[in-house]
């Protein structure tokens, strides 16, 4: 069976992803800043707080995996897999097909590998999916849950993923809609910064880089995908059951927003926000995403 993480005729990158922890050191220069963040402090925090952060978008998983059409025997890539919760769910649907999660963060890949220890058909690759030489037409499905928004050169990245997708194969992405439609972003950042925050500029790698439907259609069509569809989906974003823990995690992740502010005051404001959103399902905020699907023409 084809090793979907391997580069053909390239022995140092041709190790089976079943071994876990496989590393491809090739990172495109446009992703240097993302590598510093995700393979550094930020990725380390995500790895350390995997229990809480894996919950945040989890209510979207069923719709995303249904849209991906993953069936038994499918070969699947999960882009920006983080600590691997979506990869594990995809592997259960695809068995005995092979599923590989790809991420720039060595720390998150290690957590993902550990958590998938009981799944013989899932493993993980620390690599830059924008340039990694996946086998041509080597996968049936490419999925990503908010992880495909951080490429430095998005046209090149999706062209690489389209090349790796077999004719008739599918792409399924979950991407955040505009910041203003995501209560979790508006309220958490305002509490920490002491004022409402605007989103990043268009085209800049960020959670909201794929928020514009017209831009997404043009991007994926130009990369080689067809029949690009976007569906408005909305679910609560979950931040665990403990407002104090949720406050601590988000304050650590977004610590740069505290510049020029009294840290205790900012954390107090964030804790008040978390407590205001505590309910029967824990701490939840409104969120809005696009469920993006496309086909690789045959």
Over residues 67-91, mean pLDDT:
98
Nearest Cα neighbor of 122 from 143, 104, 150 is 143
> Per residue in 115-152, is it b (16+ CB within 10 Å) or e — as a string?
bbeebebbbbbbbbbbbbbbbebbbbbbbbbbbbbbbb
pLDDT tens figures, 26-55: 999 999 999 999 999 999 999 999 999 999
Between helix 106-115 and helix 41-48 the angle, nearest 10°, is: 20
What phi and psi values does residue 28 have, to the nearest 5 degrees? Answer: -65, 140
pLDDT tens figures, 260-288: 889 999 999 999 999 999 999 999 999 99
pLDDT at 4: 72
pLDDT tens figures, 236-264: 999 999 999 999 999 999 988 988 889 99
For the chain, domains (ranges, CATH) are 21-238+284-295 (3.40.50.150)
Over residues 149-164, mean pLDDT:
97
pTM of the model: 0.92
Nearest Cα neighbor of 51 from 89, 21, 79, 85 is 85
pLDDT tens figures, 98-125: 999 999 999 999 999 999 999 999 999 9
Nearest Cα neighbor of 147 from 25, 31, 296 is 31
CA distances from 206 to 49, 107, 175, 219 (A): 20, 20, 11, 16
pLDDT at 20: 46
Q: Is the pLDDT reported for residue 6 higher than 80? A: no
Tokens of 201: 């500029």
């Amino acid at each position: 069976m084809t090793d979907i993480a391997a580069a053909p005729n390239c022995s140092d990158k041709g190790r089976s992803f079943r071994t876990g922890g496989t590393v491809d050191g090739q990172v495109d220069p446009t992703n240097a800043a993302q590598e510093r963040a995700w393979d550094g402090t930020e990725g380390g925090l995500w790895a350390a707080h995997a229990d809480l952060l894996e919950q945040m978008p989890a209510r979207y998983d069923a719709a995303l995996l249904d849209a991906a059409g993953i069936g038994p025997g499918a070969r699947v890539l999960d882009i920006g897999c983080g600590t691997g919760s979506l990869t594990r769910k995809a592997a259960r649907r695809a068995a005995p097909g092979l599923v590989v999660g790809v991420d720039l963060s060595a720390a998150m890949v290690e957590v993902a590998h550990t958590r998938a220890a009981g799944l013989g058909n899932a493993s993980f690759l620390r690599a830059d999916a924008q340039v990694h030489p996946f086998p041509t037409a080597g996968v049936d499905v490419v999925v990503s849950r908010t992880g495909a928004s951080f490429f430095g050169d998005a046209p090149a990245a999706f062209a690489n993923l389209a090349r790796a997708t077999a004719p008739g194969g599918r792409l399924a992405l979950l991407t955040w809609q505009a910041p203003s439609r995501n209560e979790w972003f508006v309220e958490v950042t305002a509490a920490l910064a002491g004022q409402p925050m605007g989103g990043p500029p268009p085209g800049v790698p960020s959670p909201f880089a794929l928020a514009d439907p017209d831009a997404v259609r043009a991007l994926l069509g130009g990369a080689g995908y067809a029949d690009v569809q976007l569906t408005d989906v909305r679910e609560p974003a979950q931040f665990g059951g403990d407002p104090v823990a949720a406050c601590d995690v988000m304050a650590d992740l977004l610590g740069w927003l505290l510049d020029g502010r009294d840290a205790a005051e900012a954390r107090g404001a964030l804790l008040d926000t978390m407590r205001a959103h505590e309910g029967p399902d824990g701490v939840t905020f409104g969120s809005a995403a696009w469920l993006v699907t496309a086909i690789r023409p045959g």
